Amino acid sequence: MLYRTMPKNGDKLSILGFGCMRLPMAEGKIDEARAVAQIRDAIDKGVNYMDTAWPYHAGESEPLLGRALQDGYRQRVRVATKLPSWMIESREDMDTYLNVQLERLKTDHIDYYLVHALDGELWDSVAAHGVREFLDTAKQDGRIVNAGFSFHGWLPDFKRIVDAYAWDFCQIQYNFLDQEFQAGTEGLQYAAEKGLGVVVMEPLRGGSLALPEAPPAVAALWAEADTPRVPVEWALRWVWNHPEVTVVLSGMNEEAHIAQNMAIADVATAGSLSPKDLELVDRAGRTYKELMQVGCTGCGYCMPCPAGVQIPKCFDVYNKLHMFGDAEGAKFMYAVSVSGVLGASAPGFASLCVACGQCLEKCPQHIGIPDMLEKVAAELEDDGLEARQAAALRMFQVRPDGARQGA
């Protein structure tokens, strides 16, 4: 495992952190035994930055991490969690959430505490409620050690927030598709110039950049490289190639993916990609942008949908339809993943959308979700949908009431 230094405090942090937003699931809830084993194994192999937040897994992520870090593991890591900025209505709320988080995480301090999911409007709101004084006080009394923020807005607001407080670090979405989206490369460099450490989320764009087989047009580009690499290595190495990046949260939650990500983190030094490599990545990025229809990362902030639409799943299948061009395969995948065959209590088809607009307020990617769902329904729902759903039910041996045969 390689380590990089947080500029303001000298902490040596593993370049690969463990994010707890997408923990392994079983029967609709966190698979605790598996999640704890993954977290502890990662720590044993050198990961020392653990990231969670108040809303992850409907509030169950922080308590799970607290339990996972018992038996001496807490002392071996830096823990990061986040103040739910959109829920703050008073200065007192901030202390209330932090104190509950300390209890959930079974600790007396948070090493890296972020004001969560800021954009310009949310920053103005928490600033008006006294977040600067709150952070100062919490640092002085030892409940938090380092103060930062995560960001999902636009570049001018990012710079304004960087300059508004003596932050220790920030967290941004960054990958080779998002060089000019949200904070982007300019924001990354701006934060670094101000002395902030930078934690990167969504380096794989919700997994789209890590599919074992890249879309044919992208695979043809990777084949031109002097050094063969699988898609996930290209994506992660590109982010780590930037010396301004301190830690990367890849969203890993499968044992094979964790092992693969850690192997890449053993060799991903800054500046290690060649000019030819970087040119190929830029071309790949342009190709992906031409193919992908929706900039969804699968974060799930839009959920639950009041109409029952499985929004991230709909967009995942829709993007794969356009990346790979297999219309019949995509339609069957849609019937499997969105119809309720694999564990959902009811079908969540795009056509169920009633355009209520609740998702628009929640989406950190600023996607026009209802309009995009209309396109998903037009391309993936046809007269054969019911037959595909029935075939999927037979294939996965699930009864119409949702129970698996033999359960």
Structure tokens at 39: 């977290």
Structure tokens at 30: 């966190």
pLDDT digits (tens, 9 = 90+) for 328-352: 888 887 877 776 655 555 788 999 9
Q: What pLDDT is attached to residue 340? A: 63
pLDDT digits (tens, 9 = 90+) for 282-334: 999 999 999 888 989 888 889 999 999 989 888 888 888 887 788 888 888 78
Q: What pLDDT is attached to residue 299? A: 87
Q: Calculate the average pLDDT of the chain.
A: 92
Question: In whole angstroms, what is the distance from residue 128 CA to residue 91 CA?
Answer: 9
As beta bridge partners, residue 26 has 29
Domains along the sequence of the chain with CATH: 3-290 (3.20.20.100), 311-396 (no CATH)
Question: In whole angstroms, what is the distance from residue 301 CA to residue 294 CA?
Answer: 15
Band (392; pLDDT cuts 50, 70, 90): low
SS3 35: helix
Structure tokens at 266: 């053993």
pTM of the model: 0.84
Q: Are 226 and 237 contacting, i.e. CB atoms less than 8 angstroms apart? A: no
Task: With a cut of 70, say whether residue 400 has pLDDT above it.
Answer: no
Mean pLDDT of 195-211: 93
Q: What pLDDT is attached to residue 343? A: 52
Task: With a cut of 60, say whether residue 403 has pLDDT above it.
Answer: no
Question: In whole angstroms, what is the distance from residue 270 CA to residue 325 CA?
Answer: 35
- For residue 122, which of 174, 96, 160, 92 has the smallest C-alpha distance? 160
- For tokens 């809303």, what's the residue? 55
Question: In whole angstroms, what is the distance from residue 142 CA to residue 108 CA?
Answer: 8
Percentage above 90 pLDDT, the chain: 76
Let me know if 369 is exposed, middle or buried by CB neighbors in 10 A (0-12, 13-18, 19+). Answer: buried
Q: What pLDDT is attached to residue 394? A: 67
Q: Which of 44-58, 73-87, 374-388 has the lowest mean pLDDT?
A: 374-388
Q: What single-letter amino acid sits at 151?
A: F
In angstroms, how far is CA 166 from the centroid of its own chain? 26
Q: Are 151 and 161 contacting, i.e. CB atoms less than 8 angstroms apart? A: yes
